[in-house]
C-alpha cells in the first residue's frame, strides 16, 4: 500500500525576500516622496490634501496589486509543485508619476488654485486609465505588435532624461551633501558592481549613508535650505472608496492625450515583464498580470490615488536574490498600511528628498539605456528626435514657474515673446504621443517606407486638429476641429505627408512595400 503523499506547501518566505523587500519598498517610497515633493514643493498644493488623500489612495493600489501578485505566486507554486517561484514585483509607475504630477494634477491646480478640484481631476484621469488598462489586457499582444518598439521606448526614454533625471538632480544639487553620498552608493553598487558590507541592499544603503552624511553635516554646522515639501500630518488617513472622481471627469478629458499613452506603455511593459519572468522560469498568464495592474490602478483611483501601478522590470533580479512571495506581500502591507497610518508621510517628511531620489536617477538611466540597447543602430537617430517634445515640456514647466514666481502677466509681454511661449506650449503638450509619432516617422523614413511615413503625417495632422497633440492652451485641453485656434501646423503636417508620397512615387515598390 502506497503511503499518502503529503500535500504540497509552498515555502513563500526565504532569506532573499529581505533584500527584495528593501529594494521594492524603497523604490515605492522614493516615488511617493517624489510625487509629494513635486505637488507640494513645485506646484504648492496644500500638504494636507496630498498626504491625507493622494498618498494613501495611491499606496492602496500598491497594496492591492502586490497582494494579488503574491496570490498568483502561491497559485503557480501549487500548480507546478515548485518552491522557487518568485512573485512579480509591482509598484508605482515611475514615468506616470512624473507625467501625471507635472502634466495633470499640478496644472489642474494652477487653473484656479482649487486643491480639491485638482485632486478629483487626478482621480478621474486615473480611473479612465484603469478602465483602459483592463480593456487593453485582452488585446495586449495586438497593441505591442501595432506600436513600434523603438518609438515607444524612445518616448519613455525622453521622459526619463527630460523629467525623471533632471528633476531628481535638481533635488540632489539643492542639498548635495546627503544627495551626492546617496547617489554615489547607488552608482557604485548598482552600476559599478561594488558590494556593501553585511550584504546591505543598495537602496537601503544609499538612504542610510545619505541620511547619516546629511545629519552629520548639520551637527558640524551645515545649514541646508528649508524644505518646500511640507510636513505630513499625524493620524489615520484611511483610503475610503468614493465616487468623488465623477466631479473631475469633465476636466479629465483634457488630459487624455497624456494619460492614455502612459497607460498603454505599462500594458506593453507588463507583457515584456511577463515574458522576462517566463525566461527566468516563472510562467505567469499574461492576461492575469495585466488585469491585476488594471484592477490595482482602478482601486487606487476610487480610493483617492492619482498615480497608476505597474509590474516592475526586474523579476529575474528579484528571483536571483532568492525572493519568493514574501517580499511583495511585505511591500504591499508596508506601503499600503504605512500610508494609511501616517508612517509613510512621516518617513517622507523625515528623509531629505536628496537622499531618496538617487534611485530615480538610476531608474532614468536604465530606461534610457534600455531604449538605446534594444534599438537597431540605424534607428538611434529617432531616439534623439523623440527627445525634443519632452525637453519643450520641461522648459515650459520651468518657464511657467519662473513667470508665476515673478508675478508676470503674459498678456503684458510683447507679441514676439507671447508667440514664442505659445510655440513652446504647443511643442510640449501631448509630448508622449508627439515623441512616438516623430520617432516612428523617422524610423520609416530611414527604412524607406515612405507610404507609412506619410500615414504618420496624416495621423499627426488629425491629432493636431483636435488638440491631442500641440494644444496651444496652457492646460492642454482638446477641442473640436472647428474650434481650432489655428490650422498652420495641421497644413504643415499634411504638406510633409504629401512630400513623402511625392518622393515615394519615384520608387517602383512604393505601393507594394509594407
In this prediction, residues 18-36 reach a mean pLDDT of 83
- For residue 42, what are the CA distances in angstroms to 244, 304, 349, 495? 25, 21, 16, 40
Average pLDDT over residues 204-231: 79
Write out the DSSP string of 385-419: HHHHHHHHHHHHHHHHHHHHHTT--GGGS-HHHHH
Mean pLDDT of all residues in 490-507: 90
pLDDT value at position 344? 86
More confident residue, 91 or 401: 91
What mean pLDDT is predicted for residues 100-109? 87
Cα distance between the two ends of the chain: 66
126 vs 150, more confident:
126
Confidence of residue 482 (pLDDT cuts 50, 70, 90): confident
Round to whole Å and give the CA distance between 125 and 54: 13
- At residue 156, the pLDDT reads 64
Residue range 364-374: average pLDDT? 72
What value does the mean pLDDT take over residues 495-510? 84
Give pLDDT, residue 419.
86
Average pLDDT for the chain: 84
63 neighbors 332 (Cβ within 8 angstroms): yes
Q: Does pLDDT of 132 surpass 70?
A: yes
The percent of residues in the chain predicted with pLDDT above 70, rounded, is: 90
Q: What is the pLDDT of residue 1?
A: 44
As a whole number, mean pLDDT of residues 193-220 equals 86
Q: What one-character DSSP code corresponds to residue 229?
A: S
Which range, 24-28, 315-319, 339-343, 457-461, is most confident?
457-461
pLDDT band for position 58 (cuts 50, 70, 90): very high
Q: Residue 19 has what pLDDT?
A: 76
CA dist list (Å): 9 to 84, 322, 398? 12, 18, 55
Is residue 149 pLDDT above 70, yes or no? no
Question: Tell me: the pLDDT tens digits for 417-449?
Answer: 888 888 888 988 878 778 888 988 999 999 888
Query: Is the model's pLDDT at 153 over the cut of 60?
Result: yes
pLDDT of residue 235: 64
- Quote the pLDDT of residue 290: 93
Please tell me the predicted confidence (pLDDT) of residue 300: 96
* pLDDT score recorded for residue 346: 82
Most confident option among 172-186, 343-357, 388-402, 417-431: 172-186
CA 229 from centre of chain: 20
pLDDT of residue 246: 93
pLDDT recorded at residue 514:
47
pLDDT of residue 511: 60
> What percent of the chain shows pLDDT beyond 90?
31
Report d(CA 219, CA 434) in Å as an integer.
49
- Judged against a pLDDT cut of 50, whether residue 298 lies above it is answered with yes
pLDDT for residue 497? 94
CA distances from 363 to 31, 170, 178, 314, 438 (A): 11, 16, 19, 11, 24
Is pLDDT of 331 > 90? yes
pLDDT over 90 at 402, yes or no: no
Which pLDDT tens digit goes with each residue over 235-251?
677 888 889 999 999 88
- CA-nearest of 81, 82, 87 to 67 is 87
Of 152-161, 350-359, 448-457, which range is least confident? 152-161
pLDDT at residue 8 in the model: 79
pLDDT band at 510 (very low <50, low <70, confident <90, very high): low
Q: What is the pLDDT of residue 56?
A: 94
Q: What is the mean pLDDT of residues 452-466?
A: 92
What average pLDDT does the segment 456-462 reach?
94
User: Taking residues 493-505, what's their average pLDDT?
Assistant: 92
**Region 281-292: what's the mean pLDDT?**
91
**pLDDT higher than threshold 60 for residue 229:** no
Exposed (0-12), middle (13-18) or buried (19+): which is 482, by Cβ within 10 Å? Answer: exposed
Please give the Cα distance from 214 to 179 (Å, whole number): 8
Q: State the virtual CA torsion across 220, 225, 229, 234 in degrees, nearest 10.
A: 40
**Grid coordinates given for 101:** 504630477
Is the per-residue pLDDT at 57 higher than 60? Answer: yes
Amino acid at each position: 500500500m502506497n503511503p499518502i503523499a503529503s500535500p504540497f506547501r509552498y515555502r513563500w518566505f526565504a532569506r532573499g525576500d529581505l533584500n527584495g523587500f528593501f529594494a521594492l519598498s524603497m523604490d515605492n517610497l522614493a516615488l511617493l516622496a517624489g510625487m509629494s515633493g513635486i505637488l507640494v514643493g513645485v506646484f504648492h498644493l496644500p500638504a494636507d490634501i496630498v498626504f491625507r488623500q493622494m498618498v494613501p489612495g495611491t499606496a492602496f493600489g500598491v497594496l492591492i496589486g502586490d497582494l494579488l501578485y503574491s496570490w498568483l505566486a502561491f497559485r503557480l507554486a501549487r500548480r507546478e509543485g515548485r518552491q522557487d517561484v518568485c512573485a512579480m514585483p509591482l509598484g508605482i509607475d515611475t514615468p506616470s508619476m512624473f507625467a501625471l504630477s507635472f502634466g495633470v494634477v499640478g496644472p489642474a491646480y494652477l487653473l484656479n488654485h482649487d486643491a480639491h478640484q485638482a485632486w478629483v481631476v487626478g482621480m478621474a484621469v486615473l480611473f479612465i486609465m484603469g478602465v483602459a488598462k483592463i480593456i487593453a489586457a485582452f488585446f495586449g499582444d495586438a497593441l505591442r505588435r501595432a506600436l513600434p518598439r523603438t518609438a515607444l521606448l524612445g518616448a519613455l526614454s525622453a521622459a526619463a532624461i527630460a523629467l525623471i533625471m533632471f528633476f531628481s538632480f535638481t533635488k540632489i544639487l539643492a542639498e548635495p551633501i546627503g544627495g551626492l553620498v546617496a547617489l554615489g552608493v547607488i552608482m557604485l553598487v548598482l552600476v559599478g558592481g561594488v558590494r556593501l558590507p553585511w550584504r546591505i541592499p543598495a537602496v537601503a544603503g544609499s538612504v542610510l549613508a545619505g541620511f547619516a552624511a546629511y545629519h552629520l553635516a548639520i551637527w558640524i554646522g551645515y545649514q541646508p535650505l528649508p524644505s518646500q515639501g511640507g510636513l505630513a500630518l499625524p493620524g489615520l488617513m484611511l483610503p475610503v472608496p468614493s465616487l468623488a472622481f465623477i466631479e473631475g471627469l469633465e476636466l479629465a478629458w483634457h488630459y487624455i492625450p497624456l494619460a492614455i499613452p502612459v497607460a498603454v506603455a505599462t500594458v506593453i511593459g507588463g507583457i515584456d515583464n511577463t515574458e522576462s519572468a517566463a525566461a527566468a522560469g516563472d510562467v505567469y498568464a499574461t492576461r492575469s498580470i495585466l488585469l491585476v495592474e488594471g484592477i490595482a490602478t482602478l482601486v487606487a483611483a476610487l480610493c483617492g490615488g492619482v498615480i497608476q501601478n505597474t509590474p516592475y522590470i526586474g523579476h529575474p533580479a528579484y528571483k536571483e536574490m532568492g525572493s519568493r512571495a514574501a517580499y511583495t506581500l511585505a511591500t504591499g502591507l508596508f506601503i499600503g498600511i504605512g500610508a494609511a497610518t501616517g508612517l509613510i508621510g512621516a518617513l517622507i517628511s523625515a528623509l531629505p528628498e536628496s537622499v531618496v531620489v538617487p534611485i530615480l536617477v538610476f531608474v532614468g538611466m536604465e530606461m534610457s539605456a534600455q531604449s538605446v540597447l534594444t534599438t537597431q543602430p540605424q534607428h538611434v537617430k529617432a531616439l534623439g528626435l523623440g527627445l525634443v517634445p519632452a525637453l519643450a515640456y520641461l522648459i515650459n514647466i520651468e518657464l511657467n514657474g519662473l513667470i508665476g514666481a515673478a508675478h508676470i502677466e503674459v498678456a503684458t509681454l510683447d507679441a514676439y515673446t507671447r508667440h514664442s511661449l505659445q510655440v513652446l506650449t504647443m511643442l510640449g503638450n501631448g509630448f508622449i504621443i508627439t515623441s512616438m509619432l516623430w520617432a516612428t516617422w523617422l524610423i520609416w523614413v530611414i527604412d524607406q517606407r515612405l507610404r507609412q511615413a506619410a500615414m504618420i503625417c496624416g495621423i499627426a495632422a488629425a491629432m493636431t486638429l483636435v488638440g491631442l497633440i500641440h494644444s496651444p492652451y496652457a492646460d492642454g485641453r482638446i477641442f473640436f476641429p472647428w474650434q481650432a485656434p489655428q490650422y498652420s501646423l495641421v497644413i504643415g503636417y499634411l504638406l510633409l505627408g504629401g512630400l513623402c508620397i511625392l518622393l515615394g512615387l519615384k520608387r517602383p515598390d512604393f505601393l507594394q512595400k509594407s
